[in-house]
Structure formats: structure tokens, C-alpha cells
Amino acid sequence: MDEMDEIVSEFLVESHENLDQLDRDLVELEKNPGSRDLLASIFRTIHTIKGTSGFLAFGQLEAVTHVGENLLARLRDGKMTMTPGTTDVLLAMVDRVRDLLTAIEHDGTEGDVDVSEAVARITDVLEGRDSVPAPVLVPEPVATADPVVELVPEPVAEAPAEPAPDEEVTRRNVAESSIRVDVELLDSLMRQVGELVLTRNQIIRQATGEADPTLIQAAQRLNLIATELQEGVMKTRMQPIDHLWAKLPRVVRDLGAACGKQVELAMVGRETELDRSLLESVKDPLTHLVRNAVDHGLESPDERVAAGKSADGLLTLRAYHEGGQVVVEVCDDGAGIDPARIAAKAVDKGLRTQAQVAQMSSADILQLIFTPGFSTAAAVTNVSGRGVGMDVVKTNIESIGGTIEIESVLGRGTTCRLRIPLTLAIVPALTVQCAGDTYAIGQVNLLELVALDADRAATAIEDVNGAPVHRLRGSLLPLVHLAQVLGVESERSDGHVLIAVLQAEGKRFGLVIDRVLSTEDIVVKPLGARLKSLGTYSGATILGDGRVALILDVQALARRALNAESLERTNERSDDAKGAIEHVRMLVAGIGGGRRIAIALSSVTRLENIPQASVEVVGSREVVQYRGDILPLLRLGRHLGVDSWGTEEQDKDKDLVVIIYTAGSRSLAIVVEEIVDIVDEETEVHDDIADRGLLGSVLIRDRVVEVLDVRDAVLAADPNFYAGVDPVDELTWSGSGSAFGATGIGSVQEAV
């Protein structure tokens, strides 16, 4: 009902505006009866009102505009000529339409407005029975003003409504309570507000050091007013994403019919608001993703039935706010994207070599679809196949500071996820310093700040082969030093470490900085092409002291922290060695008897120390209470045949060193003797071990380390562990039975 009310409200606003224009056009048409442009404009307006009124079931309104449309059609086609009498009946029709709109606005119905006289007069003119003589109409202004006079008492009645002044406001014409403003004017207003915010910041900073209380109060008042003005202007630019989605049902319906597919469209989060300018920028990329999902993603009805699915494909549009961004997802339940097919097509088109694709993970291979000229379509059609589109989608999204992600599971479907900033104009930020220079970090990405003194930093941070990791409350947090990224020398020489814990694209990492300065609202300024091409900065701003600060691109830093360094080191090796070399990121643990086990870091959720006394026995299995849940407990040494029973008895008073493993909503506690190291290096993987529970071995620092088969270990502790777990989660966390399988041991994203 709210949605229908909104449609009616918009109809009333547009119709009132159109009627005012109609009054002017009809009078002008009487002076220039041969103007085809005026006739065409009037006809289109009446036709629009008639069509919408029919859709909204306003019968009286539809009836009077229908006969008016017939008269205008005769005039437009030259079958009749414009006379004062014709003008009179058309103006009378406009007045009846205005009466009906007023009644609809009052209570949602057409009330008791009688349009029969207006319809009869127009019908008389159409049939050549002009019931109103021209001489009476022209010299007698009262006659032409009669319909207007009938409307005059309404505003007069509103003015003296003494008992209920609030009612006067609510009964105001809906057209008078809204205004249409050009988007360029709003953009100009936003730019001026941005400059006001910059000036506000400068004044507040200068007033802070002054002793004059009057100046301080004035600065505080300015701060309050500027903030309220900023919020108000930003609200004027916000629109629900439903405005963008409104045309997509027709697109999906027509495209499904053209492709011979049955598609059901679901929309979630229609009310999610986005800046108007960004809404326009997202329109074309989103439409392209929807077309791709229908054309490429969903199977034909026969193929779906053969695969055990329903004949109707499901396409879901989902929008929601997350961390100061708007996330828009396009999800289909189709066949998914086959990385092998993508890789083969990339090689076939010469976009990558066979050696290059052999070293790429499945996620990296999926990113190839954003390469210019890439397409897997077997033939060029009017829908797709020309290799133009996905690269443009990515370029357009990144041009507004957004990102695009793609996830796909064979047989289950594909999700394209757009992350778009809420606005590009003014954002709250944290200003930090590195090597004497000032940088800004958007607060939407900031989770917390962690300060470590020299003693704590020495033990809380492990830096192994260029992969520093901080154990933050038991979680593994990968670190990246801003000074190293920028290629400068840090000013920190006292051993203290300051970490900004950031989140980007669903992943957490720590950015090591020199010091924190302050928080303030910043006005985002675009970067030049050279600075933007560096991939480290997303924009620039002017601080309160007048200095320019670069805004750090947190998404780019996240990719650098978690992926880029390892990929660069791997790519530096010769092509001959690439086939046997893997980049390894693993947790190495001792299990007793001098044996060491390597576990993919992607399988490690947390590291904990648990008292021996907390271990309980349920049936034939050991369990432990952990964070309100009951976790199966697996002693890894015992599972792999290490004779450690005597050692366990001797160490019964010591805490257990536990690795928490999670798949879906279930977790497992794996007990090891000690945590030896976290490694991040290149090594050759050997599958020379056929023992149960092991996948192979790797050589780490001149020592052979066994690679654990995590899935086998989990099932040994709980055979039903994966029951009910999403197959995607199982695949992600168990490695699909391979040390370097679907998880990609080189990835630490899932561990943080």
C-alpha cells in the first residue's frame, strides 16, 4: 500500500505541473491554431494523464481525458480547426481534471466530482454541435473563468482555518509541497557545501588554540550548522535503488523470452538508498550484469530439469548497506562458471599463456572475464558474444570508487557483487602520519586501533619471510607496513607499533602506521591520472590546516597485504620452475616425537590455550566447551600415531595448545604440542607420503614437514561433522582433499 501511495503521489505532482503548462499552451494555441508543436505537446500530456489514470483505476479522470484526447487527435490530424469554443471546452476539461486531482489528493478517491457536463460539451464539439457560441466566450471573461472560479474557494477556505493550523499544512496541494530541481544544481550545491566543510574545519582548528570564549562558541555553532546543512544536502541527493530496478523486470522478461528461458526475478532491499549521481553511474553496469546472468548464467529449462533443478531459473537482486557502502548483488542459480573453460578460452584468445594460467588460482582465473575482448559465447548474438561489456562494467564501477567481485560454484550459480560508496562527496576519515606525511583513511573501513609497546610488539608480532602476522585476541591478523608500501623510511625507531585494523572486501588486516592525528569530515577530491594509476590512493583532500592529504585506497592495500606480494615473488621465477613450485602459507605445529605438521593457514580460525580440566568425555569422544558451544576435540598426535600418552599424562596440568577449525557454523578443536611457526614462502610440494591422514610433504628451512589432510582429521574426530554444512564451506575449508586445492594455501583471507 505504501508503494501504491508513492506512485499516486508522484502522479499527482506531475499532473499538477502538466495542468499548469496546459493552461498556458491552450491559450497560446488559440492565438496560433496552426502550431503542430503545441498540439503535439498538449496531446502527449493528456494522453499520459489518461493512461496513468486508467492504470490507477480512476474512472472519472480516464473518461474526461479520453474524450479530450479524441478532440485533440482531431485537431492534430487537421480534421478540425481551433476555435474559441474549442479552447473553452478544453480549458473546462483541464479544470475538471484539476478538481479530480484535488479530490484524489484529499482522500484517495475521485469523490463526487461530476465530469458529465465537461464530457458532454466535448462530445458536442466532436459531433459538430458547438453548444457554446464563440461570441459569448470571447468578450465575456467571466465565461472562460467560470471553471477557475470554482477552484478559488478551496485555497480561501484553507487560509482562515483557525482551529487547525496543522490541517492547513496537510491539505496543501501536493504539487506545492514538492519541487523539481536539476541534478546539476544539486551537484553545485554539494560542491559549495564541501567548500564550507573545509572552511569549517580550518576555523575550528584555529579556534581550538584561542582563549576567546566567544570565538570558540561561534566555531562550535558553525560546526553544528555546517553539519546539519551537509546532512540535509546529502539527503536531497539520496534515492532508493528501486528507481534503478524498476525497469529490470521488463528486461528480464523480454530477454528470457528471447533466450527461451523461464526466469523468476526476486528483489531484496528495494528501499536501500544511494546517491543520485552514483545511481546513474551504476545503471548501465547493473543492466549488463542482469543480461549476462540470464543469457550466460541460467540454463535452459531442459538442462535445469536434467540437472535436478526447477525449470524456472531464479535471478535475485539484493541491495544492503554494509560498512558505509552499498552492496548490490546479482545472483543466479545457474550452472556456474567453469574456471577450466575460462582458462582455455584465455589461452585460445592469446590473453594469457598456458604457463601463466597454470599458476593462477580459480579466483584469479574468474577475474579474466573482466579482460577486454574476453567472451565465452559460442556465437555473436544481439545479446552477447562480442567481448565488450564486463571490462567496461569493471572500469565504470572502479571509476566511482567501487569494486566488483565474482563468486561462482559449478552447478549452483554465480554471484556478482558490487561494492559502491554511499556518496563520493564528504566522508568521515581518520588522518594518520607516515614518514612525516599525512594520509586519510575512510572510517567506514576502520575497525579499531591497536597500540603495542616495544616489549609487547617483540612477542605479539611474528614476521616470517616478509609475512608479518599479529595475534589479535587469538585471531591471526596479517600486517602491512605503510612505510614499505610507500617506499619510505618510518619515523618509528622506539620499537612501538601502532596498528590500524581495517576491513575491506570482507577481510581484515592491520596497517602499521607511525601515528594517529585526528578524525574529521573530509571532502573527497579526484586524483590525476598518474596518481590514480599507482593503485594506492583513492582521492585527495584538503585538511583543516590547509595541507593536502592523500586518501589511502584500503581495498588496494588489502589486496597487497593478502595476495600481491606472494604472487609477485612467484611470478619472478622462471617458467621452467613454475610447474613444481607452490607459494606456501601455512601454520607449522609440533605434534610430538619430533614430528611437525603443516596446516593450511586458510583452515585456521583461531589459536587458543585451553585448560586440560575443561576437557570432557561424551560417549567415546572428547569434547570441550568453547564460547558457549560444545566442540569435538582431536588430539592430532594420537590421530597420526605419535606415542605421546605418557607425555600427555605428564603435561596434564598444562594448558592445551588448540587450533580452532571452522566450516559453516560448526567448529572443531585440534590439539597440538606446540605452535612452531607461520611460514610464507615458495617450496616444492611432494606427494610422496601415502600414510592415512597426510597429503604429502614440503621442505621448510631444510626440514621435511608433513602436510595434514584436514578433512580426514576432522572426520576422525566427528564422522558427522560435515552433515548439513554447505558444500561450498566444506570445499573452502577442507581443501577438496589437496594441500593446494580449492582453498589456495597462499591465501589467509579465511583465517582472519
pLDDT in tens, 514-566: 989 888 878 777 777 677 667 788 788 888 777 888 888 887 777 666 553 33
pLDDT reading at 425 higher than 60? yes
- How confident is the model at residue 35, as a pLDDT? 83
Q: State the Cα–Cα distance between residues 621 and 630, nearest whole angstrom.
A: 12
CA distance 611 to 671: 12
CA count, 13 A, side-chain hemisphere, 14: 13
pLDDT confidence of residue 416: 92
The number of residues in the chain equals 752
The DSSP secondary-structure symbol of 293 reads: I
- What does the mean pLDDT of the chain come to? 76
Q: Is 426-566 the same fold as 2-177?
A: no
Rg for the chain, CA atoms, rounded:
35
| Alpha carbon distances (Å) from 428 to 249, 274, 357 | 37, 17, 41
Q: What's 426-566's CATH class?
A: mainly beta
In sequence order, what are the residues at sequence separation of 6 or more whose Cβ sits closer than 8 angstroms to the Cβ of residue 413?
Answer: 297, 331, 332, 333, 334, 335, 336
Choose among 349, 540, 510: nearest CA to 440. 540
Cα–Cα distance between 588 and 679 in angstroms, integer?
A: 7
Proportion of the chain above pLDDT 90, given as a percent = 9
Model pLDDT, residue 171:
38
- Residue 750's nearest CA partner among 606, 571, 591 is 606
Residue 405, classed as helix, strand or coil, is strand
- Is the pLDDT assigned to residue 644 strictly greater than 50? yes
* Res 360: pLDDT: 80
With CA atoms as reference, report the closest residue to 201 among 422, 424, 426: 426
240-421: CATH number: 3.30.565.10
Cα–Cα distance for residue pair 77/234, rounded to 1 Å: 48
Tens digit of pLDDT for each residue in 737-748?
333 333 333 323
Q: What b-and-e string marks burial along 647-685, b requiring 16 or more CB atoms within 10 Å of the CB? A: ebeeeeeeebbbbbbbbbebbbbbbbbebbbbbbbbbeb
CB 181 within 8 A of CB 128: no
Q: Where are the domains of the chain?
A: 2-177, 183-237, 240-421, 426-566, 577-751
**Cβ of 245: how many Cβ atoms within 10 Å?**
20
In the chain, the N- to C-terminal Cα span, in Å, equals 44
What per-residue confidence (pLDDT) applies to 671? 92
pLDDT at 314: 93
pLDDT in tens, 315-336: 999 998 876 678 899 999 999 9
Choose between 144 and 509: higher pLDDT: 509
What predicted TM-score, i.e. pTM, was given to this entire model? 0.49
CATH architecture of the region 183-237: Orthogonal Bundle (1.10)
At 267, the pLDDT band (50, 70, 90 cuts) reads very high
Work out whether the CA dihedral 261, 264, 268, 271 comes out positive or negative. positive
Give me the pLDDT at residue 525, please. 75
How far is it, in rounded angstroms, from Cα 268 to Cα 359?
38
Tell the CATH superfamily of the 2-177 domain: HPT domain (1.20.120.160)
- Residue 71 banded pLDDT, cuts 50, 70, 90: confident
The percent of residues in the chain predicted with pLDDT above 70, rounded, is 77
Q: Residue 631's closest CA among 658, 604, 655?
A: 658
Q: Is 89 exposed, middle or buried (0-12, 13-18, 19+ CB in 10 A)?
A: buried
Q: Report pLDDT for 580.
A: 42
Q: How far apart are CA 714 and CA 636, in angstroms?
A: 10
User: Cβ(84)–Cβ(136) under 8 Å?
Assistant: no
Per-residue model confidence (pLDDT) at position 579: 37
| pLDDT tens readout for residues 134-172 | 333 343 443 333 343 333 333 333 434 444 444 443 335
Lowest model confidence (mean pLDDT) among 161-175, 370-384, 574-588: 161-175
- What's residue 332's pLDDT? 93
Tell me the C-alpha distance between 193 and 189, whole Å.
6
Q: Per the structure block, which three cell numbers stand in for 320? A: 544492503
Q: Can you give the pLDDT at residue 543?
A: 80
